Structure 1
Amino acid sequence: MQTWIVTGVSGSGRIELLNELAEYCSSQSRTVLVHDVGAMMADEARRQRLQVADDKILDVDADLLRTLRAAAIKEVRVRICEHPTANLHLIGIHASFRWKDRLIPGISFIDIGDLRPDGFINVVDDVKTVHDRNSKNSKWDVTSLPNLERTQDWMIEEEFITEVLAEVQSKPMYLVARKHKVSNLADLFFSAKKRIYLSYPITAVRKDDPELLARIQGPILSELERLFVVFNPLAIEDMSLVAAKGLPETVDQVTSDARALIKSRTVERDYQFIDQSDAVVVYYMTDKVSPGVLAEIYYAHRNMKRVYLCFPYALSPFLEGAATQISKTPEAQLALLQKFADHAAHSAGAG
Structure 2
Amino acid sequence: MEGGAGLMAASADERTLVWCTGISGSQRTDYVNEAAEAIRAEGRSCLVIDIGDLLEQVPEHLKVGTSRTELLDGNEDLLRLHRSYALQNMLRMIEETEADVVLVSTHACFMRNGRLMPGLDMHFIKEHFAGRISAFVTVVLDTPDVWRALAQRPEWAGRLRLAEVALWRDFEVALTRMLAEYEGAPFYLLARRDPAEGLARLTRRPPAPSAYLSYPITAILQSGSTALIEGARTLAARLRDEAGLVVFDPLSIEDLPQTKEGVSPGDASAEDESGTPPISAEMEHEAEPYLVSHTVATDLQLIDQADMVIVYYPTDKVSPGVFTEMSHARDRRKPLYLCEFPGAPERVSPFLGLFHTASFETVDVLIEHLLSEQRAD
TM-score with structure 2 length normalisation?
Answer: 0.84
C-alpha deviation, 1:124, in angstroms: 0.7
Provide the C-alpha distance between the structure 2 equivalents of 1:51 and 1:156, rounded to a whole number of angstroms. 29
Structure 1 gaps of 5+ residues are 347-351
1:159 and 2:159 correspond: no
Match of 2:333 among 296, 304, 307: 304
Distance 1:141 1:283, change over 3 A: closer
Q: Secondary structure at the residue paired with 2:351?
A: helix
Q: Is the 8 A contact 2:108 2:175 kept in 1?
A: yes
C-alpha deviation, 1:179, in angstroms: 1.5
- Letter of the 2:35 counterpart: L
- Hey, what does 2:102 align to over in structure 1? 89
Question: Which range moves more in the overlay, 224-233 or 198-207?
Answer: 198-207
Match of 1:201 among 189, 194, 216: 216
C-alpha deviation, 1:341, in angstroms: 3.1
Match of 2:301 among 262, 272, 276: 272
1:284 and 2:317 correspond: no
Provide the aligned length of Structure 1 versus Structure 2: 340
Distance 1:8 1:253, change over 3 A: farther
Q: Secondary structure at the residue paired with 2:60?
A: helix
Structure 2 gaps of 5+ residues are 1-14, 270-277
- Letter of the 1:303 counterpart: R
Q: Secondary structure at the residue paired with 1:46?
A: coil
Structure 1 residues 313-337: Cα deviation after superposition (integer angstroms, max 9, x where no partner) = 2422221211111122223322322
1:175 and 2:192 correspond: no
C-alpha deviation, 1:201, in angstroms: 1.3
- Hey, what does 2:268 align to over in structure 1? 247
Q: Secondary structure at the residue paired with 1:317?
A: coil
C-alpha deviation, 1:174, in angstroms: 0.7
After TM superposition, the structure 1 = structure 2 runs for residues 1-351 of structure 1, keeping only pairs within 5 Å, are 1-44=15-58, 46=60, 48-83=62-97, 85-113=98-126, 114-115=128-129, 116-142=132-158, 144=159, 146-190=160-204, 192=206, 193-206=208-221, 207-218=223-234, 220-226=235-241, 227=243, 228-240=245-257, 246-248=267-269, 249-310=278-339, 311-313=341-343, 314-343=347-376, 346=377
- Letter of the 2:255 counterpart: D
- Letter of the 1:256 counterpart: H
Q: Is the 8 A contact 1:12 1:178 kept in 2?
A: yes
Provide the C-alpha distance between the structure 1 equivalents of 2:224 and 2:348, rounded to a whole number of angstroms. 21
Q: Is the 8 A contact 2:63 2:82 kept in 1?
A: no
- Letter of the 1:126 counterpart: D
Provide the C-alpha distance between the structure 2 equivalents of 1:70 and 1:97, rounded to a whole number of angstroms. 17
Q: Is the 8 A contact 2:55 2:68 kept in 1?
A: no
Q: Secondary structure at the residue paired with 1:30?
A: coil
Q: Is the 8 A contact 1:36 1:91 kept in 2?
A: yes
Provide the C-alpha distance between the structure 2 equivalents of 1:216 and 1:123, rounded to a whole number of angstroms. 22
Distance 1:323 1:242, change over 3 A: closer
Superposed CA RMSD: 2.0
Question: Which range moves more in the overlay, 244-253 or 30-39?
Answer: 244-253
C-alpha deviation, 1:51, in angstroms: 4.1
Provide the C-alpha distance between the structure 1 equivalents of 2:240 and 2:297, rounded to a whole number of angstroms. 23
Aligned residues: percent identity? 33
Distance 1:243 1:175, change over 3 A: closer
Provide the C-alpha distance between the structure 1 equivalents of 2:157 and 2:317, rounded to a whole number of angstroms. 47
Q: Is the 8 A contact 1:242 1:262 kept in 2?
A: no
Provide the C-alpha distance between the structure 1 equivalents of 2:46 and 2:253, rounded to a whole number of angstroms. 26
